[in-house]
């Protein structure tokens, strides 16, 4: 099979990280746009990108793109696309949709039109009037942005943030993809100490450990396209074998996760065990004021409470002030804090070295980065 166009869908603000991940995988024919990175690669890229991307939401095959301001245009141009090159006779092919600043603003109508057009296209190829839809899943998406329709098929299934290890979560879980982005933006490496003093169910420490050992985040889960007859099983086998060979299981890590709630730490330990990392991460119940380390250099990466509810605001303001006092004792460390609270810098006691806007779900958050002194040059491996 010749090269194909793929889309790595991304949360707003993480596009540059996803693009860099794709370059690290060897894919350089990239187009970076809001919420997506389009790239051209061979079919093996479906397997490798699903297994390896830490900060992307999912990987889709781009079937076509065109302007459509009427339902007739949407139908005719969708029908003309080569759907049967991918979708077999027995496939399930539901249609998802979204529309932003487009003439065709009714998502449900767009979904129905696309479904009808795909059926007509498949009828012409397979010479049949009815499709059982009892085979593998090929979820189609019609995405309209400023009257440009992009038609794609999802290769991932459940989103890439679902690594497979997090079976127990706290009240406001941080997505694994955003946790991975926080660690990447902090430029943390396996030979640097890391502490998360608000670790909750353990997402940041676990994602760091996966990175530190160079374990592909999707190694222990399955993907929708693994059931597709168009992608030889050999490609998946080779991609997984490559991932196993690249893992650095013999590395030592210094990762600590603390939380004031002993119950939530049970979930963290359970999740770390499910990820096969329980012996590499130290979790302990500890109040913030007890935070300390004998390590000269290190990074604190954390997602503290935001205080979104009115009754919590005073409590969170007090916590942020305490963070400023406690963190300052680790004066050679760097600190990275994710919060939606606009008063964080004032409460923490000093402005961030750098601030980056991100999104946690639909909530705008800021990533406050405080750089400590540069440690001695890292030992290269």
In the numeric block, which tokens belong to residue 117? 């057009």
In the numeric block, which tokens belong to residue 336? 């990275």
Residues 262 and 345 in one domain: yes
Number of helices and strands in the chain (H, E) = 10, 14
Residues 354 and 265 in one domain: yes
Residues 150 and 267 in one domain: no
| CA 68 – CA 117 distance, rounded (Å) | 14
Q: What is the residue whose two structure tokens read 């440690």?
A: 375
Confidence at residue 105, expressed as pLDDT on a 0 to 100 scale: 95
Residues 109 and 28 in one domain: yes
Domain limits for position 77: 4-154
Which of 80, 79, 157, 154 has its CA nearest to residue 119?
Answer: 79
| CA 254 – CA 294 distance, rounded (Å) | 12
| Residue 33 φ then ψ, to 5° | -130, 175
Residues 40 and 136 in one domain: yes
Determine, yes or no, domain membership for 160. Answer: no
Q: What is the residue whose two structure tokens read 């990762």?
A: 255
CATH number at residue 354: 3.40.50.150
Q: How many CB atoms are located within 10 Å of the residue 121 CB?
A: 18
Measured over all CA atoms, what is the biggest interatomic distance in the chain, rounded to whole angstroms? 73
Structural domains counted in the chain: 2
Which of 364, 257, 254, 260 has its CA nearest to residue 322?
Answer: 260
| CA 319 – CA 361 distance, rounded (Å) | 24
> 334 and 372 in contact (C-beta within 8 Å)?
yes
Determine, yes or no, domain membership for 224. Answer: no
CATH number at residue 47: 3.30.2130.30
Domain stops at, among 122, 154, 186 = 154
Between strands 4-10 and 56-67, the pairing is antiparallel
Determine, yes or no, domain membership for 19. Answer: yes
| CA 116 – CA 114 distance, rounded (Å) | 5
Q: How many CB atoms are located within 10 Å of the residue 381 CB?
A: 8
Global pTM reads: 0.94
> 371 and 345 in contact (C-beta within 8 Å)?
no
* CB burial of residue 171 (10 Å; 0-12, 13-18, 19+): exposed
Residues 120 and 188 in one domain: no
Determine, yes or no, domain membership for 118. Answer: yes
Determine, yes or no, domain membership for 227. Answer: no
Domain stops at, among 154, 186, 203 = 154
Residues 138 and 266 in one domain: no
Each of the 381 residues of the chain gets a pLDDT tens digit; together they read: 689 999 999 999 999 999 999 999 999 999 999 999 999 999 999 999 999 999 999 999 999 999 999 999 999 999 999 999 999 999 999 999 999 999 999 999 999 999 999 999 999 999 999 999 999 999 999 999 999 999 999 999 999 999 999 886 666 679 999 999 999 999 999 999 999 999 999 999 999 999 999 999 999 999 999 999 999 999 999 999 999 999 999 999 999 999 999 999 999 999 999 999 999 999 999 999 999 999 999 999 999 998 766 568 899 999 999 999 999 999 999 999 999 999 999 999 999 999 999 999 889 999 999 999 987 775 554
Q: What is the residue whose two structure tokens read 């709630």?
A: 261
Determine, yes or no, domain membership for 143. Answer: yes
Confidence at residue 374, expressed as pLDDT on a 0 to 100 scale: 87
Determine, yes or no, domain membership for 161. Answer: no
Residues 103 and 186 in one domain: no
Determine, yes or no, domain membership for 241. Answer: no
Residues 100 and 193 in one domain: no
Q: Which residues pair with 150 in a beta bridge?
A: 65, 143
Residues 93 and 21 in one domain: yes
Residues 135 and 72 in one domain: yes
Q: Which residues pair with 285 in a beta bridge?
A: 259
In the numeric block, which tokens belong to residue 33? 């746009």
| Residue 176 φ then ψ, to 5° | -60, -35
Could you give the strand order of the β-sheet that contains 299-302, starting from the edge strand earlier in sequence? 281-285, 255-259, 194-196, 299-302, 334-339, 363-370, 354-360
Residues 15 and 130 in one domain: yes
């Amino acid at each position: 099979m010749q090269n194909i166009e793929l889309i790595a869908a991304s949360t707003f603000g993480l596009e540059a990280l996803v693009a860099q991940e794709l370059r690290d995988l060897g894919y350089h024919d990239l187009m970076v746009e809001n919420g997506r990175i389009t790239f051209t690669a061979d079919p093996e890229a479906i397997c490798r990108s699903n297994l390896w991307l830490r900060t992307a939401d999912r990987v889709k095959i781009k079937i076509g793109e065109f302007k459509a301001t009427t339902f007739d245009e949407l139908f005719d141009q969708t029908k003309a696309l080569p759907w049967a090159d991918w979708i077999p006779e027995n496939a399930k092919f539901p249609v998802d949709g979204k529309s932003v600043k487009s003439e065709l603003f009714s998502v449900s109508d767009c979904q129905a039109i696309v479904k009808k057009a795909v059926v007509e296209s498949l009828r012409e190829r397979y010479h049949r009037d009815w499709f059982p839809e009892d085979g593998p899943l090929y979820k189609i998406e019609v995405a309209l942005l400023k009257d440009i329709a992009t038609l794609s098929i999802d290769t991932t299934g459940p989103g890439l943030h679902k690594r497979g290890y997090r079976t127990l979560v706290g009240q406001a879980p941080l997505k694994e993809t955003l946790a991975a982005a926080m660690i990447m933006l902090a430029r943390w490496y396996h030979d640097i100490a890391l502490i998360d003093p608000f670790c909750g169910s353990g997402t940041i420490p676990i994602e760091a450990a996966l990175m530190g050992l160079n374990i592909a985040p999707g190694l222990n889960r399955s993907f929708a396209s693994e059931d597709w007859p168009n992608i030889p099983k050999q490609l998946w086998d080779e991609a997984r074998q490559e991932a196993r060979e690249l893992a650095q299981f013999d590395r030592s890590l210094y990762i600590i996760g603390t939380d004031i709630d002993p119950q939530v730490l049970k979930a963290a330990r359970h999740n770390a065990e499910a990820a096969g990392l329980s012996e590499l991460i130290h979790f302990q119940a500890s109040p913030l004021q007890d935070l300390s380390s004998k390590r000269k250099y290190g990074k604190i990466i954390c997602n503290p409470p935001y205080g979104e509810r009115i009754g919590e605001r005073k409590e969170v303001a007090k916590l942020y002030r305490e963070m400023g006092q406690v963190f300052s004792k680790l004066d050679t460390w760097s600190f990275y804090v994710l919060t939606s609270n606009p008063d964080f810098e004032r409460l923490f006691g000093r402005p961030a070295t750098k601030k980056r806007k991100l999104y946690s779900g639909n909530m705008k958050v800021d990533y406050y980065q405080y750089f400590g002194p540069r440690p001695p040059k890292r030992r290269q491996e």
